[in-house]
Structure 1
């Protein structure tokens, strides 16, 4: 199914199924509610006397009778004005008085309301009489309407009396006579009797009795009976409606379920070409703004309802032609909304949002790109316009403006105070101004200048410190062998015993070699630091290079009884580097190990393949305590033994770092107690580099 689930033809088929299901739902509703004047509730009813149909027919009859005996009674009673609703009468007179107050010259604001009301009743006597006559006529109209409704009752016998007025359509007046019929309703002296007993089990019975609750039952009686022919006709119609409602209820359930499933499927796959497709694909109709989309949907629904109402007499003919196009458009628009919901652009893709966003963006760009003059003009023009548009909430607008001005003044004060602090030499101070406005950018720029100045000062201080240490260390390291050379030269000059000449010459040779090593290392460190060394890149088997190098220094390894452990990948790994420069870096690290590693200890060399680069790690245990940080060790003329008794120049690690970086690599060292670790990272050789 995954192969076909997101195909365009599959979506079209499911879309058509959804439309068919909507048509099926509409046809089921029309067949029950319109064509047969039934209700779906008929399908759930077990007996006619427990149905809504029985309550509806009986309730209308009981309502007419209760209104006549309780409210209207007879024409003379209505003409006396007693039936006029008191609240309505007061309300209508208040309307007349309001008209008098605004239009009549007789109204005097200086007088009390009571005095003005007396004048009103005299001046508007005719209008008040006409109003009362109209309300009496309306009640007479209602009275005759109820009588007319009673006259149209066929098969329903009734008798209603309040002791004086009687309303009946039969010659029988005794309760026992009504009780001879197959179904009757008796309301007399606070008692209510229903037959057959199934009526009492009707869930809608309260809608029938609610009319009786509004009358005073004293001296009032209402008898209602239903003839056998009438009941048989009603029961037969109810049974037919029950069959129709049951059939269409199942039809409705199936089509509604089909629509829900097809719609859920369309919601799931809409906009995507597969389940793994993370991108939503849009069509032309998806460009329609969502608020316009919703407005069209809200217009189409009442249009459909009006068209259905107009075609109610031939609904079976016009239902499909009316429903199909409107449902198709509605479903397309709904799926477009769903697509924007899935892409989280529902609110952004509205016309209102677009207009507001473009206006705000335009004003914001003009405000940000313009100078103080343009911003001032925008504020001068924009604020009155804002006041005019929001005059109904003027205090809120003033409050927002005051808050905005306060923020700007606060930002300016923070800038002013911050510049004063920085001017006094506190380069660690930061000016905190929130927002992305002009003050925010200015604060950020000042902080950037401060950071740059602070870094420059720190670099200068560090450079001065390193220069001082360099001069001190170079002077110390060069002066030591040079002093020895001068001393032994003087000894040679004054020594008479020729047997000691050989010993003095040997010392002179050692010291001169030591001086040469120092001079060469200093020259090489300067050259490596400047980067003025030609680099020839080539494919190098790093494992073979280190293995061969360890063979060359095997004598030093055996002399110090060091145990080298080389770990490397099973497959050969190649790097892109300069063989000579790389070996010089590794040689410096090995030389460092021979000078400072504890005798008889293990030395680990690990080679790791990290896809794009090769990592070479050297680890050894120092013979002396490393009470110095990794950063200090990297500085020139720094040695692991602060006593400076070793033969190293202190330039080995610095030279190794510079040479590795010249080859586009990285060099780092870590110190953990007596464990010294050096890490070289170089680019991995790939076939496309050949």
Structure 2
């Protein structure tokens, strides 16, 4: 009898030890899966376990992970090829479009009958719209493949903004928009890429003028901690339909009923460019007014 009890005790101890070991190894599998899914580790799961069923399970999980990695690699490769194709097509379309715009502008300036002039102006307006679309697709495809890096230089953003608004006066006039501008009396210098900053301003102003119901307010200020804050605001139609959390997503156009002029790419390009410039952009709606605020982190004062 005592011998049977002893055997049972030994078996109980062995089973308890095996249970503890198996539980620890299950915990190890769980930890390894978490590390792989959160990309803390690229290693496959350890399949050396005391229990053959656990080894089989770990092996099957590794097979799933391997399949996912292969599928992800193919998707990424396809995306890169697609972006390169978009960049190439957009680049190829620029040259003939530039020629078309030049000839249309010359035709507009010639002696035309009123109905002829109206048709030329319509073709010219749509051609410029096409140019805007091509530029956005080209910029986005290059930016997302990280082929463009900033060429840093010290820029007087106060003067740049004044010149930029003067150059874009026809844009405001054509839409019958009267901008309200507030700029500091002293010069504000930032360390940026000039062409990237130009593109950011162009996209923001074009977006504001396109969707405003009345006016556009533009301001440049200095934050207490010494950063340049550029803000552009405008009243919008149906502000309750505008999801500011998605405003900088690709292809988001706000109210679909008023999106015929937009691809939803302009503001996504703004965000990508600002990230490259180590800046930031955010949006908010107060009442019926949309506010877009750009912060440039690196600031030098004159």
Q: Does TM, scored on the shorter chain, surpass 0.5?
A: yes
- Cα 1:507–1:582 shift into 2, 3 Å: closer
- Cα 1:504–1:546 shift into 2, 3 Å: closer
Contact 1:603 1:621 (C-alpha < 8 Å) held by counterparts: no
- Note the C-alpha offset of 1:603: 1.9
- Structure 2 matches for 1:415-494, cutoff 5 A? 415=26, 439=28, 442-452=29-39
- Structure 2 matches for 1:288-687, cutoff 5 A? 408=20, 411-412=23-24, 415=26, 439=28, 442-452=29-39, 507-533=122-148, 535-557=150-172, 560-566=176-182, 568=184, 572-599=187-214, 601=215, 603-609=217-223, 611=225, 613-671=227-285, 674-685=288-299
- Cα 1:445–1:624 shift into 2, 3 Å: same
Contact 1:635 1:654 (C-alpha < 8 Å) held by counterparts: yes
Inter-partner Cα distance in structure 1 for 2:165 and 2:22 = 68
Runs of 5+ consecutive residues of structure 2 not aligned to the other structure: 1-12, 40-64, 87-112
Inter-partner Cα distance in structure 2 for 1:565 and 1:503 = 33
Inter-partner Cα distance in structure 1 for 2:252 and 2:196 = 22
Inter-partner Cα distance in structure 2 for 1:527 and 1:553 = 25
Inter-partner Cα distance in structure 2 for 1:410 and 1:672 = 58
Inter-partner Cα distance in structure 2 for 1:647 and 1:499 = 26
Tell me: higher relative CO, structure 1 or 2? Use CA pairs within 8 A at least 6 residues apart: 2
DSSP 3-state at the match of 1:669: strand
Residues 84-112 of structure 1 show CA distances to partners (whole Å, capped at 9, x for unaligned) of xxxxxxxxxxxxxxxxxxxxxxxxxxxxx
Inter-partner Cα distance in structure 1 for 2:117 and 2:160 = 41
DSSP 3-state at the match of 1:637: coil
Q: What is the aligned length?
A: 225
- Note the C-alpha offset of 1:655: 1.9
Residues 116-136 of structure 1 show CA distances to partners (whole Å, capped at 9, x for unaligned) of xxxxxxxxxxxxxxxxxxxxx
Inter-partner Cα distance in structure 2 for 1:634 and 1:668 = 9
Inter-partner Cα distance in structure 2 for 1:499 and 1:565 = 36
Inter-partner Cα distance in structure 2 for 1:606 and 1:583 = 15
Inter-partner Cα distance in structure 1 for 2:202 and 2:196 = 10
Residues 523-578 of structure 1 show CA distances to partners (whole Å, capped at 9, x for unaligned) of 2322233332353221122233223323333454465444525264x654321112
- Note the C-alpha offset of 1:517: 3.0
Residues 135-160 of structure 1 show CA distances to partners (whole Å, capped at 9, x for unaligned) of xxxxxxxxxxxxxxxxxxxxxxxxxx
- Note the C-alpha offset of 1:657: 1.9
Aligned residue number for residue 164 of structure 1: none
TM-score under structure 2 normalisation?
A: 0.57
Inter-partner Cα distance in structure 2 for 1:406 and 1:674 = 67
Contact 1:531 1:662 (C-alpha < 8 Å) held by counterparts: no
Contact 1:622 1:674 (C-alpha < 8 Å) held by counterparts: yes
Contact 2:227 2:298 (C-alpha < 8 Å) held by counterparts: yes
Inter-partner Cα distance in structure 2 for 1:625 and 1:537 = 37
DSSP 3-state at the match of 1:643: helix
TM-score under structure 1 normalisation?
A: 0.28
DSSP 3-state at the match of 1:546: helix
> Which structure has the bigger radius of gyration?
1
- Note the C-alpha offset of 1:597: 1.6
- Cα 1:679–1:410 shift into 2, 3 Å: farther
- Note the C-alpha offset of 1:634: 1.7
DSSP 3-state at the match of 1:583: helix
The structure in which a higher percent of residues are helix is: 1
Runs of 5+ consecutive residues of structure 1 not aligned to the other structure: 1-400, 416-432, 434-438, 472-497
- Cα 1:531–1:679 shift into 2, 3 Å: farther
- Cα 1:629–1:407 shift into 2, 3 Å: farther
Contact 2:193 2:277 (C-alpha < 8 Å) held by counterparts: yes
DSSP 3-state at the match of 1:667: strand
Inter-partner Cα distance in structure 1 for 2:33 and 2:238 = 48
- Note the C-alpha offset of 1:506: 5.2
Inter-partner Cα distance in structure 1 for 2:259 and 2:116 = 27
The structure in which a higher percent of residues are strand is: 2
Residues 610-632 of structure 1 show CA distances to partners (whole Å, capped at 9, x for unaligned) of 54643333333223435242343
- Cα 1:503–1:606 shift into 2, 3 Å: closer
